[in-house]
Amino acid sequence: MGSGAGMAKTDPEPGPDGDEGGTRAPLSVPAQLVIAVGVAVAVVAATLHLAAAFLSVSPPNTLTKRHGAAIDDYVYPEFERVWKLFAPNPLQQNIAVQARAEIRTPDGGTATTGWRDLSAQDGAAIRHNPLPSHTQQNELRRAWEFYVGSHDAQERPQGARGELSGQYIRRIVMLRFGREEDGGTVRRVQVRSATTPVAPPPWSDEKIDTKTVYRVLPWWTVTAEDLPGATSR
C-alpha cells in the first residue's frame, strides 16, 4: 500500500459559531471594559451593603457615631434583621392586632362592627407570595411595637412619640377600614392586641397556659387627619 503522503488534506470541521476548530473569537476591547466595569460595580455595591449591614448591628464605634444616620437610612426598613427568632430570648408568643369600628348608619343610628384581625390579613397576603411587600410584613407589627414602647399600662402616651404612635396606629386602621364600613360612615375605631403563648413541643415537659390575653385600647374618634389621603401639616 502506498504511503499516506499523497492523501488529500481535510479541513477542520467548523465550530458551532462558524469558526474553525470550534474556538470562539475573543471579546472586543469595549466589551471587556463593559464586563470589567460591571463586575467592579457589583463588587463595590456588595461590599458597601455588607459593611452597612454589619455596622447597623455592631457595637457603637467611630463610624456608627459619625455616619449612624446614613447607615440607618440605608438599612431600614428593607434590610432590617429581626433577631427575636434566635436564642437566648426567642419570641414565644403570637401577637395579633385587631380592630373594630363604630359607624353612623344611613338612618342616623350607630352600630359597631365585629373585630377584624388585621394581622391575619397580612399573614394571608404573605402566604405563598414569594415577594411579599415590606408593608405586609412589617408595617403593622412595627407600628404596634412603637405604640407599646411609648405608652404606659394605662395607655397614657409618654411624650411626643407616644402621641405620634397613637396617630400612626389610627391611620393604619383607617387605611384598612376606609371612610365607610358595612354601609355606614366610620366615626370611631378601637384597637386591641391578642397575645397567645406558643405551645411547647410534644417532647417537652414544659407546661404553659396558652390562653389568649387581650390588651384593649380606648375608643378613638376619627379625625380628618386619620382618613386615607390626609397629609400631615
Q: Are 189 and 102 in contact (CB under 8 A)?
A: yes
Tens digit of pLDDT per residue, the chain (233 long)?
Answer: 555 454 555 555 555 555 555 566 788 888 889 999 999 999 999 999 999 888 887 888 888 888 888 888 888 766 776 666 665 556 688 999 999 999 999 888 999 999 999 999 999 999 988 888 878 888 999 899 999 999 998 999 998 888 999 999 999 999 999 888 878 899 999 999 999 998 888 888 888 888 999 999 999 999 888 887 665 55
| Rounded to 5°, angle at Cα 78 from 173 and 62 | 120
Residue 18 covered by a domain: no
For 12-23, give one letter per residue: b (16+ CB within 10 A) or e. Answer: eeeeeeeeeeee
Shared domain check, 109 and 193 = yes
Residue 161 covered by a domain: yes
- pLDDT confidence of residue 203: 86
Domain of residue 140, residue span: 91-202+211-226
Shared domain check, 157 and 55 = no
Residue 165 covered by a domain: yes
d(CA 129, CA 126): 5
- Please report how many Cα atoms fall inside a 13 Å half-sphere around the Cα of residue 153, on the Cβ side: 0
d(CA 132, CA 152): 33
- pLDDT confidence of residue 191: 96
d(CA 149, CA 164): 12
Q: Are 71 and 55 in contact (CB under 8 A)?
A: yes
Cα diameter, the chain: 116
- pLDDT confidence of residue 209: 87
Retrieve residue 112's grid coordinates: 359597631
- pLDDT confidence of residue 17: 52
Residue 198 covered by a domain: yes
- pLDDT confidence of residue 212: 94
- Please report how many Cα atoms fall inside a 13 Å half-sphere around the Cα of residue 101, on the Cβ side: 22
Task: Enumerate residues 6+ apart whose C-beta is below 8 A from 26.
Answer: none
Count of domains forming the chain: 2
Q: Find the DSSP H helices in the chain.
A: 29-57, 62-75, 118-126, 134, 140-149, 159-177
- pLDDT confidence of residue 122: 92
